[in-house]
Amino acid sequence: VILLCFRRYLLMALTSCLFWNTFGLSVAMDSKPNILLFLADDLGIGDIGCYGNNTIRTPNIDRLAREGVKLTQHIAAAPLCTPSRAAFLTGRYPIRSGMASSNRYRALQWNAGSGGLPANETTFARLLQQQGYTTGLIGKWHQGVNCESFNDHCHHPLNHGFDYFYGMPFTLLNNCQENKPPELDVALQAKLWVYSQMITLAVLTLTAGKLTGLISIRWKIIACFTLVGGLFFISWYSSYGFVQYWNCILMRNHDVTEQPMRLERTASLMLKEAVSFIKRNRHGPFLLFVSFLHVHTPLFTTAKFLGKSRHGLYGDNVEEMDWMVGKILDSLDKEGLKNHTFTYFASDHGGHLEAQDGSAQLGGWNGIYKGGKGMGGWEGGIRVPGVFRWPGVLPSGTVIDEPTSLMDIYPTVVHLAGGILPQDRVIDGRNLVPLLRGRAQKSEHEFLFHYCGSYLHAVRWHQKDSGAIWKAHYVTPVFRPPGAGACYGKGICPCFGEGVTHHDPPLLFDLSRDPSEAKPLSADTEPLFDTVIRKIGRAIEQHRSTLTPVPEQLSLYNVVWKPWLQPCCGTFPFCWCDKEGDSTQV
């Protein structure tokens, strides 16, 4: 009798356990999870522990990978901030939205430019907002602010589906820190200084000649030269001379709260805002996009982390960012939201190899991959970390070696929220949920197109039947000095002109055998060479047939500084304020 009762009890317990496990998973999948997206700035794939770095400490990002899914072929749609983030937000190649440049300005240069993410683009935030999500963005935006007046905010996050915004409408620059050399348009500024000095010298020479009688010239002509020279100087120095005030600002929703921003407390403010957003919206569902200012130059790091890493200031900055990730994850745990939150961590593109201060490296490490930030085709500029966690739904400790894209986040989170993708435009991203859950073994991407600005530099073909990952380079940057692996002395590699090499036939690599792109294949060494090149060529034709002309948001007119568009917390040009005080405690 005792044995019979024990068997009956055991059967009931197993049945109950199976029911609640199934029910729990069903509830997790049927209900709308909170969505937490972390996006680092300029972080190299080789900079964090779960991707092989054993000298920079990133325990919190590594924990996400242990508790979830790690992607090893996660690809940015562009190798630079503005276009990559536009693709991330819209699920579309930047060239489709006009966020790809045909000139040397490949990212937005000013808060007071008129270019930015067009109002007719639909972000994932907008679609989640329509599904009842409270949406927030903390950190970097870099998708523009205004179009025609200083407060129309046509490109602002709140006009693109975010209910709450706190952060930089622009991006960090060396100009944001007073003891750093300027970073914005350094070569152009040097030329403008020379021209101004030449005009000044000419005016002084004419004046001296007039006073000594050596030159016969009317004072009106000298006055005219002086006026022209003064106007020329004011025309450029009014922008480049005050970059810290014009670009280095913080906003809360539509209001400027710091102008210029105080870097020593920025990390604490960002962390406080992220934790506060989670607490306010703990009853969900919410979307929180934490867009880090780390690890972009000038790498301002708080005293707690200075000198603590083995990789100088850059390593210190990475470790501070990881600490911030940990604090935000702790807030999820504190609110009991860990198991009901879909969490993602990535970088907008590869590390910046040319970022140096003498012998000190201020940019990231891209592991075994060639190239870096700004290089449209080489893996080091576009292959980034990609980590997902959703306890109880996504398997833990899983590694997926399939081609995926930052653009995939768009359809993935829309699917999780129960939304429907726009039907009136091409969406280049693919829903990752089946792949992440192990229901699919292959990525849905057959081809990925790698742009540098508006110029197609390379194409990747995922040959699913053989497992090969073919990559054809049609254009590559010319490294300076030769063989150096980057464009040292230029700041960033160009996309066109004398700074690139065109390849016909293209350079071909099989990334499944040669991920470092060290040994290009040829018709002599690869029997499938001609077949692969023809296949990729047809894919390019088909891809280009889906492109439609759109206004170029990064045109020269759109990227120049326009004083009437300048966000200002006072009366222009008297733009300075500090509305934050010292309330930075988390």
Helix (H) or strand (E) run with residue 295 in it:
none
Name the nearest CA neighbour of 472 among 491, 487, 456, 455.
456
> Which alpha helices (H) appear in 31-58, and where do they start and end?
none
Give the whole-angstrom CA distance, residue 151 versus residue 325. Answer: 33
SS3 of 355, please? coil
Q: Are 72 and 400 in contact (CB under 8 A)?
A: yes
How many CB atoms neighbour CB 187 within 10 A?
Answer: 10
One-letter amino acid for residue 516 of the chain: S
Give the whole-angstrom CA distance, residue 516 versus residue 509. Answer: 9
Query: First CA to last CA across the chain, in angstroms?
Result: 60
Give the whole-angstrom CA distance, residue 558 versus residue 394. Answer: 43
The 8-class DSSP code of residue 571 comes to: B
The 8-class DSSP code of residue 38 comes to: E
How many CB atoms neighbour CB 103 within 10 A?
Answer: 14
- What is the tally of helices (H) and strands (E) in the chain? 15, 17
Which residues are catalytically annotated?
81, 142
Give the whole-angstrom CA distance, residue 478 versus residue 494. Answer: 9
Name the nearest CA neighbour of 122 among 422, 430, 426.
422
How many CB atoms neighbour CB 540 within 10 A?
Answer: 15
The 8-class DSSP code of residue 162 comes to: -
